[in-house]
Amino acid sequence: MRILLVEDDTLLRTQLRTALQDAGYTVDEADNGRDAQFLGETEAVDAVVLDLGLPVVDGLTVLKRWRAAGRNMPVLILTARDNWHEKVAGIDAGADDYLTKPFHLEELLARLRALIRRASGQASAVLQCGDWSLDTRSGRVACAGQPVALTAHEYKVLDYLMHRPGVLVSRSELTEHIYAQDFDRDSNTIEVFVGRLRKKLASSSSASARIETVRGMGYRLVPP
């Protein structure tokens, strides 16, 4: 999953980036409203963390422009303390949730997980497909109850698919959602990650999920 992080405070942005990456997200960053607007309009982000007090163009304006342009990704706004009208204006402008500074990183991560879950129609923090499970809180993956160790990229591919069971996902869509904007993307690597996931998550059980290749189209996570 790919997060757009918009925050002009360098220290806070660095802390948030590290926490998001540690939680298994791909992170794109902006430190002003103009760059943020551009990234949010052109990149396939799964959620946005948007500070409202930004240089060049303020966060509220950026949010309104995204929504006016039909960009409907979940947006979590960061607001100043004791500024309740900012929260109201943010939610009215199309924010899905807010956090008041200062906040705990754990709360930010929990709210983001919930936003991403809701956007893909998932209700539980533990995604289940057949005998495969992925705990979005801990990043733990298991097959038939046995823990499975995945690399960061394998996890990102599985996480994206587990949020969309039964849905055909193209290779380019997967590529867009697991690599940041400045990364040298190669959609052939997706095939490698999927191949490794199939091996690591193989089980003889009839309850096993599988990742189906739809020739020329992409992949689909198939429940048993």
51/176 with CB nearer Ca ion: 51
**Footprint on residues 42-71 left by Ca ion (CB under 5 A):** 51, 53
Q: CB-wise, 51 or 131, nearer to Ca ion?
A: 51
Q: How many residues bind Ca ion (CB under 5 A)?
A: 3
CB of 53: closest distance to Ca ion in angstroms? 4
Nearer to Ca ion, 6 or 157 (CB): 6
CA pseudo-torsion sign 109, 115, 120, 126: positive
Least distance to Ca ion from the beta carbon of 111, Å? 19
- Which of residues 8 and 135 has its CB atom nearest to Ca ion in the complex? 8
Instruction: Quote the tokens at residue 125.
Output: 């923090």
Q: For residue 102, is the peptide bond before it cis, meaning its omega torsion is within 30 degrees of 0?
A: yes
User: CA geometry: angle at 34 spanning 69 and 19, to 5°?
Assistant: 95
To Ca ion, the closest distance from the beta carbon of 49 in angstroms equals: 12
* 31 lies in the binding site for Ca ion (CB under 5 A): no
Strand intervals (E) in the chain: 2-6, 26-30, 47-51, 75-79, 97-100, 126-129, 132-135, 140-143, 146-148, 168-170, 210-214, 218-222
Least distance from C-beta 36 to Ca ion, angstroms? Answer: 11
First to last CA, the chain: 24
- The site for Ca ion (CB under 5 A) is made up of 8, 51, 53
